[in-house]
Each structure stands twice: as structure tokens, then as C-alpha cells.
């Protein structure tokens, strides 16, 4: 009986994977028309995602499309600005929490900075973020950022150095 359950689970996993691969193939064609596809990754829930980038003027945007649903714009993004030749400044992080998207995008943002010989990534924690500041601190610490919080004014600064 246990063996039949395992076979059924494996078949479902295989069917889901096949579906995600077909979706990825179709979505990749659409995304590549307008963006630089920079990777394919897997979330903590084992879903496949397409990672792509847009760089215009001094802006850099790392985006994710989850292959569970049809491409209709990004599911998650990190928006940053090239402040100067040494600094990339994170302006905004948009998308659902707790799916692993942020960690994937942050990895690719750090790789982009390293490829461009940019040793510093900075950002701000604004008062609007204060309702989930504990989650933000955990996220940035996990990605080796230094964090300074001003508890009285409900704001903060983050910084990662590639030294």
C-alpha cells in the first residue's frame, strides 16, 4: 500500500514538473523579447522560476516569473539604481513574501554588482516597512547585509560590501 502511494506521488511530481517545463519554455520566449534572461532557479517550494533583468540608464531591475502560471508580467522584483561607480542602491522590493523569490533576486542582484565591479549595495528601511521590519532584518542578515535601525524614527539603512 505504501509503495502505491509513493508511485502516485512521484507521478504527480513528474506531471507538475513537466507542466512547469512547458510553461517555462513558452514564457521564456515571451520574456526574452524584452528582457535579458539571466537564469532559471528553483524556489524553496521547488517551483521553477525564470530570472530576468532590465537595465535602463542608471536603473537595474531583477525580476522573477514563476512557472506555475502563465507569464503576464513579473511575480517579484528588486528595483535598484546605480548611484555611482561603486554603489547600487535598492529602491524597492515588490511581490509576495515567504516564497523564496527575494532570496533568488538578491543572489542575482549581488552577482550583477560583482560582474560590474560594484562593491557596495545599499538601501533604506522606511517607516512604511516598519510593520514587517523583523522579517526585513532577518532577510538582510541572511544575505550578509549590515543593518542600522533607528527605532525612534522607524527607519534604517542596509549595506552589503563585496570586499
Answer for the pair 75, 87: CB distance below 8 angstroms, yes or no.
no
CATH topology of domain 2-161: Aminopeptidase (3.40.630)
| Predicted local distance difference test score (pLDDT) of residue 34 | 95
3 state SS of 57: coil
Q: pLDDT digit string (tens) for 15-60? A: 888 888 888 899 999 999 999 999 999 998 888 999 999 999 999 9
pLDDT digits (tens, 9 = 90+) for 53-74: 999 999 999 999 998 888 999 9
Work out the mean pLDDT of the chain and round it to a whole number: 91
Beta-sheet strands, E only, within 27-161 = 36-42, 48-56, 59-66, 76-84, 87-94, 120-125, 146-150, 155-161
Beta bridge partners of 149: 156
Q: What is the pLDDT of residues 136-146, one digit of tens each?
A: 999 999 999 99
User: Between helices 101-115 and 133-142, what is the axis angle to 10°?
Assistant: 50
Amino acid at each position: 500500500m505504501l509503495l502505491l502511494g509513493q508511485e502516485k506521488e512521484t507521478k504527480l511530481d513528474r506531471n507538475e514538473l513537466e507542466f512547469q517545463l512547458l510553461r517555462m519554455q513558452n514564457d521564456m520566449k515571451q520574456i526574452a523579447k524584452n528582457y535579458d534572461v539571466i537564469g532559471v532557479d528553483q524556489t524553496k517550494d521547488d517551483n521553477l522560476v525564470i530570472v530576468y533583468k532590465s537595465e535602463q540608464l542608471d536603473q537595474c531591475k531583477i525580476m522573477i516569473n514563476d512557472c506555475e502560471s502563465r507569464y503576464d508580467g513579473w511575480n517579484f522584483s528588486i528595483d535598484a539604481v546605480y548611484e555611482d561607480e561603486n554603489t547600487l542602491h535598492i529602491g524597492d522590493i515588490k511581490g509576495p513574501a515567504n516564497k523564496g523569490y527575494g532570496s533568488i533576486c538578491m543572489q542575482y542582484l549581488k552577482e550583477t554588482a560583482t560582474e560590474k565591479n560594484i562593491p557596495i549595495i545599499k538601501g533604506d528601511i522606511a517607516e512604511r516597512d516598519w510593520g514587517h521590519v523583523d522579517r526585513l532584518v532577518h532577510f538582510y542578515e541572511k544575505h550578509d547585509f549590515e543593518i542600522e535601525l533607528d527605532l525612534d524614527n522607524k527607519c534604517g539603512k542596509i549595506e552589503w560590501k563585496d570586499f
